[in-house]
Structure 1
Amino acid sequence: MSPWLLVALAYLLGSIPFSYIAGRMVKGIDLREHGSGNLGATNTFRVLGAKVAAPVMLFDVLKGTLPVALFPHLEHTNDWRWQLAYGAAAIIGHVFSIYMRFKGGKGVATSAGVFLGLSPVALGVAFAVWLVVLKMTKMVSASSISGALALIVVLLIVPERTEIRILGLAVAAFVIFAHRSNVGRILRGTEPRFGAKKEPEATVAAAAVTADGEKVE
C-alpha cells in the first residue's frame, strides 16, 4: 500500500471525534457548544463525567498508537520515517478534524498514543510526571504542560533518533502553545480543578466560563 495513502488514512483516523460522538450518544449534545468547546477527553470529563471521558481518552490514545504500530507493516518502503509521518498525521487529524470543520482537541492523548508507539520510555516518564503534577495541582492543563516538558527532556537524554526528538519537540511545543490561555488562569488562580462537578443538567445548554469571564479550556 502506498505510504502516502496511509498518511491520509492516519489523518482520517486521527480526525474521528470520539468526544463528539460520546456527547451525541450520551446526552444528545454537541460538545463544541459546552465547556471549553474542545473535542477532547478533558472537556468530555468536565461536561459528561469520568465514565464517559475514560473510553474517549482510550480511543484518542489508540488513534495515535495504531498508525505508528500498524501502518508500517502495510507498506514496504523499509523507511522508518514514514512511521513518524503517520503519527504526525494522526495528531493533526485530532487537532484539525476534517469531520468537524477542522476543529478538534489539543492533541495531548493522541500525541501520547503516538509516542507510546515511537518511544515508550519517554512516554512513560512524561506520563508519570503528568500524574504527579495532576495529583499535586488538580489541574489537567498544568499536568499536560509538565508532561510535554518532561517528554522533551527525556527524548534529549535517552538514545533516540534525531527525527523522533524533533517530532517530540514540535508536539510538546504545540501542546504548550495550545494551553497558553490556561497559563494565564493558573497564574491568576482561576484555572478549574480536576474533580470539580460536571455541568449541571439545568445549565448543560450554556458554555461554562471561569470566574473572570473566560471560557474554560
Structure 2
Amino acid sequence: MLAQAATLLAAYMIGSFPTAYLVGKANGVDLRTVGSGNLGATNVFRTLGWKWGLLVYVVDGLKGALPVLLLPAAIGMASGWPWGVGCGLLAILGHVRPVFLMGKGGGKGVATASGVFIALTPIPALCAIGGFVIVVATTRYVSLGSLVGAVVLPVALLLQQRAITPLVIVSAVVGAFVFWTHRENIGRLRRGEERRVERTSSPSAGGRA
C-alpha cells in the first residue's frame, strides 16, 4: 500500500510542475500578474506568443499522460482503472493546485486532462480535442472550446464503451470540474465580455484566459 500511495504522490508532484510560471519567469514576466493571471497555455499564448503557448500546452499535457503511462507500471499495476485513473486525477489536481506554488495559482486543468485521457482512451480524447479545435477555430473563444471538449469527452467515451463504466463517470466528473474552473469565463461568455483569441501570435500582456 505504501508503494501505491507513493505513486499517487508522485503523480501529484509531476502535475504540480509549474510550466507556465517557469516559462514566464524565463521571459521576465510573472504570469500571475498579467493577462488573466492564470498559469495556463492560453495566458502564455496571449502574453508571450504562440510558440511559448504551444510549449506550455505540450508540457502540461505530458504532465497528465506520463503519470498514467509510467507510474502504475512502476509498481506492477495496469495503466487503466483504477491506478492509471488515480494517477491522472492527481496530476490534474497538481496542475490546478501546484504544491510548488503553495497550492495556488495553477492552470484550469484542460491541457493536463487532455494528456490524461489521451493516455487512458485515445479515440474519445482525440474527439474532444477535435471539438475544441473546431470551436476555437470558428469562434476564437478558447474557453468555449474547452467547455465543448469537456462535454464531448464523456459522450464519445460512452458511445465507444456502450455502457456507463467507471471511466465514463470519471470523464464526466472531470468535465464538470473543467466547467467549475471556467465559471468566470462562463459568466463573461454570457455577458458577451469574453475576449477572443487573436488570429496573430504577437505577444500581448492583456486579456483573460
- Residue equivalent to 2:173: 170
Q: 1:54 — aligned with what?
A: 54
Q: Distance in 2 between matches of 1:44 and 1:124?
A: 23
Scaled by the length of structure 2, the TM-score of the pair is 0.91
In structure 1, C-alpha distance between the alignment counterparts of 2:53 and 2:160, rounded to whole Å: 32
CA distance in 1, matches of 2:67, 2:166: 17
Q: Does 1:152 align with 2:154?
A: yes
TM-aligned CA deviation for residue 147 of structure 1: 0.6
State how 1:197-212 maps to structure 2 within 5 Å. Answer: 198-199=203-204, 204=205, 208=206
Q: Which residue of 2 aligns with 1:141?
A: 143
Unaligned runs of 5+ in 2: none
| SS of residue matched to 1:158 | helix
1:11-47 deviations in Å (ceiling 9; x for gaps):
0000001000000112x22111111111110111111
- Aligned match of 1:91: 92
The superposition leaves residues 111-151 of structure 1 with CA deviations (integer Å, 9 ceiling, x where unpaired) of 00000011111101101111110111001001000010111
In 1, the alpha carbon distance for the partners of 2:119 and 2:164 equals: 14
Is 1:41 matched with 2:41?
yes
What's the C-alpha RMSD, in Å, of the aligned pairs? 1.7
Deviations 1:137-177, CA, capped at 9 Å, x for gaps: 00100100001011121122111772211210111001111
Identity of aligned residues (%): 41
Name the TM-score, length of structure 1 as normaliser: 0.88
Aligned match of 2:131 in 129, 132, 155? 129
How many pairs are equivalent? 203
d(CA) in 2 for partners of 1:140, 1:77: 36
Residues 14 and 94 in structure 2, CA contact (< 8 A), matched pair in contact too: yes
Counterpart secondary structure, 1:127: helix
8 Å Cα contact 2:147/2:179 also seen in 1: yes
Of 55-64 and 161-170, deviating more is 161-170
SS of the equivalent of 2:35 reads coil
Measured against aligned partners, the alpha-carbon deviations of 1:35-73 in whole angstroms (never above 9, x if no partner) come to: 111111011111111111111110000000001111121
Distance 2:153 2:195 in 1: 24
Cα separation, 1, equivalents of 2:203 and 2:155: 34
What SS does the aligned partner of 2:71 have? helix
Residue in 1 that maps onto 2:101: 100
My pick for the range that moved more, 79-88 or 58-67, is: 79-88
Runs of 4+ with deviation above 6 angstroms: none
